[in-house]
Structure formats: structure tokens, C-alpha cells
Amino acid sequence: DGGITQSPKYLFRKEGQNVTLSCEQNLNHDAMYWYRQDPGQGLRLIYYSQIVNDFQKGDIAEGYSVSREKKESFPLTVTSAQKNPTAFYLCASSIRATGETQYFGPGTRLLVL
């Protein structure tokens, strides 16, 4: 059953703590993306990766980091430098990063304690 998965569904972060959000896809897609969505707002691009071992900053990369060591995985770390991390985080993938359809995961909701 092909698709894109994210875990956990909910995540709580304490002040000063780094947390990592998981994103896995078995669609054999080259490109993967991370978006942030705040209530009532659209999606904003954090990072994207066109291929393994390569990634680029999006519009709001400050306070976040990513890695792309495997084609299937694109984890996002929310660092303590991100002062307002409470949001809904969405991971997506596409065959290539040239405008093809993006397939989204179910999302992770991050809350700060």
C-alpha cells in the first residue's frame, strides 16, 4: 500500500528542546517537502529536497533543520531556535521537483508546553 506517513500525530515540546518529526514515503519519489500551516492560514514551505543528500531552504527555514540520507526518509528537526513552533506540519513528496503533483502525509501537530 503506497503512501506517505508522518509520525507522531501529536508532539509536545518543552522550552529549549529539539524535536524531530518523521516523514517516510514508499512512492519512490525523488522530491520531498516540509510545510508549516498555522490556523486559518495556507501552507508555507520550510525545506525541500530534490534528491538524496541534497536539500534547499524554503521560505521559513530559520529554526529548522533537515536531512535526506535515504530516498524514503526526510526528517524535520524543530530546534530550540524556533521561537514559535506551535503549528501543523505537513510532509509531501512528488516524482520530481518540477511541478508534478505533490502527495501529502497526514500531518503532525506540534504543541509547546
Partner 1 sequence: LAKTTQPISMDSYEGQEVNITCSHNNIATNDYITWYQQFPSQGPRFIIQGYKTKVTNEVASLFIPADRKSSTLSLPRVSLSDTAVYYCLVVPRGGGGSTLGRLYFGRGTQLTVWP
Q: What are the residues binding partner 1 (CB under 8 A)?
A: 31, 33, 35, 40-45, 48, 50, 56, 58, 88, 90-92, 97-107, 109
Output the smallest distance, CB 33 to partner 1, in A: 6
Output the smallest distance, CB 80 to partner 1, in A: 26
Which of 2/40 has CB closer to partner 1?
40
Which of 67/80 has CB closer to partner 1?
67
Contact in structure between 4 and 94 (CB atoms under 8 Å): no
Please state, in angstroms and rounded to a whole number, the distance separating the CA atoms of residues 107 and 8.
8
Bridge-based pairing of strands 108-112 and 10-13 is parallel
DSSP per residue, 37-66? E-TT--EEEEEEEEETTEEEE-SS-TTEEE
Which of 17/96 has CB closer to partner 1?
96
Output the smallest distance, CB 62 to partner 1, in A: 17
Output the smallest distance, CB 107 to partner 1, in A: 6
Nearest-5° angle of CA 6, CA 89, CA 4? Answer: 30
